[in-house]
Structure 1
Amino acid sequence: VWMGVHRDPANLVKTIKKLRRKDDISPEVSVVRDIREKELRLYTDAGRVCRPLFIVENQQLQLQKKHIRWLNNGYNDDGEEYKWEQLVKGGIIELLDAEEEETVMISMTPEDLENSRLHQSGVDPHANDGDFDPAARLKAGINSHTWTHCEIHPSIIL
């Protein structure tokens, strides 16, 4: 359903995502800006498959050791219950559907994030690697990316 016109769609997308990460609007709402079609699409329909991803801001993973500790304990430092839902509501994990996934940059591992950060600062992250590295072909290329999300290892989700 066509809703209207907005003068600053980039700011609108940023605001909607910020509200979603603060749990002011449902985490299942997806927002996709199609620049070519000059459209902003909001998906709220039931039955869409959404997958969790860690949020990355300023090339830093939002997840910290304290969040892992709180998850293991089941409560945070204030004694409040801490579960998966608190990671979503706290802006640590974001649920993305297939449409929104096309508009983000996803790092495969936290190590790739670190390597990208080092590369941007002018340091070669693989300078000290030996000549023979059997896993070399499995490592991500050292390109400067602006990552927005990071994959969650399947064992963490269990």
Structure 2
Amino acid sequence: MNRLNPWKVWGGLTLLFLSGTLIGGVATHCYLQSQLESRWEAGPKAKKPWMMQRLTRHLDLTADQQTSLGPIVSQAQDDLLALRAQQQPQVEAIWNRTLAAVKPGLQPEQQQKLDEFEKKLHRRWQASQDYLKIIQDRNPPAK
């Protein structure tokens, strides 16, 4: 009769467990990266639903509470966006200085990747500014 070596059984189970852990870790990383990128690409208009979901989940908000807190979260988002727009020229100046200092140390293909990232970033900044303009046009400041 052929008996299985207990070390082989335990070794196989350990290998199975470790491979499952590795696959789970990689899958989680990919999922989180995808979520982050999609939220980043969606721009400022995606922040309110995301914030409301987080508040609802962490605080167990009722439907009535969600309804009453929605305008508060929207106003906070609008105020933060306006503040960010005021500081945007300084942010861009720092970013442009940094890129100018970093680029000479990069390989051509790395410079190309950095240029693509910079274009994405500028599109995001522009989307934020466009969204802020829509908000300001909809809600002109009181005189």
Task: Give the TM interval when normalised to the shorter protein.
Answer: under 0.3
Task: Select the structure of larger CA radius of gyration.
Answer: 2
So what's the TM-score if we normalise by structure 2? 0.25
TM-score (norm 1): 0.24
RCO higher in structure (CA 8 A, sep ≥6): 2
Relative to its length, the structure with more helix (as a share) is 2
